[in-house]
Structure 1
Amino acid sequence: MSLSNGGGRSGEWHAAGQSQGSSQGSSQGPSHSYPLLVRDHGLGTALKLLLETLPYALARWAVLLGFAAACAVFAFVAVGGAVWLGTHVASVFGYCWLLGTLLLGGWIWGAILRYTVHMIACGHVAVLTELITHGRIGNGTEGQFAYGRRIVMDRFGEVAVLFGLNALIRAVLRAFHNALDTLGDWLPVPGMKAIVGLLNTILSAATRYLDKVVLSYDLARGGGDPRRNIQDGLVYYCQNAKPILTTSVWMVIVERILSILLCLLLLVPAGLVTVWLPEAVREYGAIVTVFIAALLAVTVRAAFIQPLFLICMMIRFHALIEHQPINSTWVGYLDGLSDKFRQIGR
């Protein structure tokens, strides 16, 4: 792989890549030391761990269903209020009500939902990290929710900050991906711009898991310096970019296929729900059925399918960096590539 934006950067990339596998030059010893009992990142292993931690997946699904139902009520109030104001007062008030409730209310609603799901996901990641590294939860006497809640509360500052750092982490990864000719190396065929653009989109979607992977690394590594843990996690990602991104591409493709199949399968129960709705709603039966199916598919995908691939990514990451020296050249490279990397430290 090579950098696409200049010879100087390309030299840094090749220097980092050449010293990645050795302990000489700018490489140090492994910056972590923790056991690893699970190394197979296949879907079978991930499914087994997901079933073992099913209470967290069910809790996330229940929260998402509750928010989805409330969202439907919120949308009804927004549209109904706009229609009433437009009919009885003035159309401009109706438009203002609709835009105000959808934009402001939707933003607040989305922030609350994202933060709630983030906290549940962090508890889930804490439990999964224990199973991957030690094969048990805590000292063996705590339940999953008790352990996850204890870890999240003990590290509440890190968990809360990581929610805000997600945008910074993605910005660093976006700068890193843009600087690589990764796809040109994988698809050395002329005239492939459309496919390369599609794969770039896939890579962008794949990085959604990395903030939780970095949290898993922070939990497994421990210590009192989460800032360094997060930065080292990003450095390890860059050192192992090609195998991780190769895995990510296939994961995202399979995830999309499963999501489409899931939506089609849920059309049947969605149709049954539509039949039970009031007659005024049943007049728009096809639209309502598709809407309900899509809403159910989104919640099931977020509660079960996405955590499945998160587990795959966590195992892949931990297995790749096991006993691997960290290359300090990458720290300077990322520091110069994006100021967001420095902001993570601050």
Structure 2
Amino acid sequence: MKLYLGEATSIVFKTFPYIFLRFLVYGAFAIGFLVYLGVVYLIAEALAGLHEHARLFVWVLALGASYPLIRLAQEYLLYLVKAGHLAVITELIMHGSLPQGVSQTTWGKEAVKKRFASTSALFLVDRLVAGVIRTLNGVMWRITSFFGVIPGVAALTKIGTTVLHFSLTYVDEAILARNFLRKDESIWESAQTGLVLYAQAWREILKTALVLGAISMIFLPVLFLLLLGPFLAAGYAFPSIKFLFVLAAIFGAYVIKAAFLDPWMLTNMILTYVRTTEGMAVNPEWNDKLASMSKKFRKLQEKTSTVAPVGETVVAS
């Protein structure tokens, strides 16, 4: 296993405009949600005297109503921020620089628009790839569960599966990055081939993914604990809403991770994926194996066989 720590750090530093954009967008989202929760708290307290379950009703209604908005924001962020940053990172990995005369964020946004016809197309590809990876993870879990009778192995397997869960988002986005590497393929064909190559080289890629997943699992709670002290100190001035300061520490840790750590982890994962699968021929047997395992992979195959030629508009259905 090889981690490209220095190279990944150098590449990520070159994408500072996107790092700053991520910090602003995720920070604004976190602040907006905290304000929303604060308003919900005030409404719940104001209505508490009407009925003994009024508080609970307000919170359930408010959190339920916020879910579709969060999903919409997630799709929007994926399209405008994460995918654009992914395109820039991929370009820097392959060519070392971006074209002159255009801002980095503009270039990334245009690269995504040029490659994907719509937000829905990008989101569908991402969902299908993530679904196939989850299926592969499930197959691995079933295989390793046979060793659960050995003392200590079951616990280690569960820990490994948890770490793997945290790392799969980086594998997913590394495969999505292939769309910006192979512009001669349709978005569906690129995703399909990317998954097959991942399946063929899963051992080496998964070693890196597990290390990155472990770093992610450790980083977030440690950062939360570092932020919790100052936020709790500030919360003593407002004891009735101290819980909001705890949430602010959680959101603050998430924003810092999403803006600074995740791009570095992703760059490591893309470098590992690209270097491991470079020159690797697609084994048709893995196409059949993945098709037998995953309905979402069969969906990709269907899209690949019916898609318009590269360069024509592709519309997700």
TM range (shorter): 0.7 to 0.9
**Structure 2 alignment gaps of length 5 or more:** 304-317
- CA drift of 1:160 comes to 3.5
2:133 is equivalent to residue 173 of structure 1:
yes
Q: Which amino acid aligns with 1:205?
A: F
Which residue matches 1:160?
A: 120
TM-score of the superposition, structure 1-length normalised?
A: 0.78
Q: Which runs of structure 2 are paired with 1:162-201 in the superposition (5 Å)?
A: 162-180=122-140, 184=144, 190-191=150-151, 192-201=153-162
Which residue matches 2:313?
A: none
2:182 is equivalent to residue 221 of structure 1:
yes
When the two chains are superposed, the root-mean-square deviation of aligned CA atoms in Å is 2.6
Which residue, out of 302, 315, 340, partners 2:271?
315
- CA drift of 1:155 comes to 2.5
C-alpha change, 1:284 and 1:104, in structure 2 (3 Å) is closer
Provide the secondary structure at the position in 2 that maps to 1:136. Answer: coil
Provide the secondary structure at the position in 2 that maps to 1:266. Answer: helix
C-alpha change, 1:223 and 1:267, in structure 2 (3 Å) is same
Which residue matches 1:26?
A: none
C-alpha change, 1:224 and 1:234, in structure 2 (3 Å) is closer
C-alpha change, 1:268 and 1:50, in structure 2 (3 Å) is farther
**Structure 1 alignment gaps of length 5 or more:** 1-39
Which residue matches 2:65?
A: 104
Provide the secondary structure at the position in 1 that maps to 2:300. Answer: helix
C-alpha change, 1:291 and 1:248, in structure 2 (3 Å) is same
Which residue matches 1:326?
A: 282
Provide the secondary structure at the position in 2 that maps to 1:121. Answer: helix
Q: Which runs of structure 2 are paired with 1:74-93 in the superposition (5 Å)?
A: 74-87=36-49, 89-93=50-54
C-alpha change, 1:316 and 1:158, in structure 2 (3 Å) is farther
- CA deviations over 1:8-27 (Å, ceiling 9, x no partner): xxxxxxxxxxxxxxxxxxxx
2:99 is equivalent to residue 135 of structure 1:
no
- CA deviations over 1:291-311 (Å, ceiling 9, x no partner): 332221111011111111111
- CA deviations over 1:103-137 (Å, ceiling 9, x no partner): 122x1231133123212011101111111011111
Rg: which structure is higher?
A: 1
Which residue matches 1:344?
A: 300
C-alpha change, 1:184 and 1:211, in structure 2 (3 Å) is closer
**Relative contact order, higher structure (CA 8 A, sep 6+):** 1
- CA drift of 1:177 comes to 2.3
- Give the whole-Å Cα distance in 2 for the aligned partners of 1:261 and 1:96: 34
- CA deviations over 1:45-86 (Å, ceiling 9, x no partner): 212111110111111111111111111111122222223223
Work out whether residues 235 and 331 of structure 1, in 8 Å CA contact, stay in contact via their aligned partners in 2: yes
Q: Percent identity?
A: 26
Which residue matches 1:145?
A: 105
How many residues in Structure 1 have an aligned counterpart in Structure 2?
298
C-alpha change, 1:288 and 1:94, in structure 2 (3 Å) is closer
Work out whether residues 162 and 211 of structure 1, in 8 Å CA contact, stay in contact via their aligned partners in 2: no
Which residue matches 2:75?
A: 115
TM-score of the superposition, structure 2-length normalised?
A: 0.85
Which residue matches 1:56?
A: 18
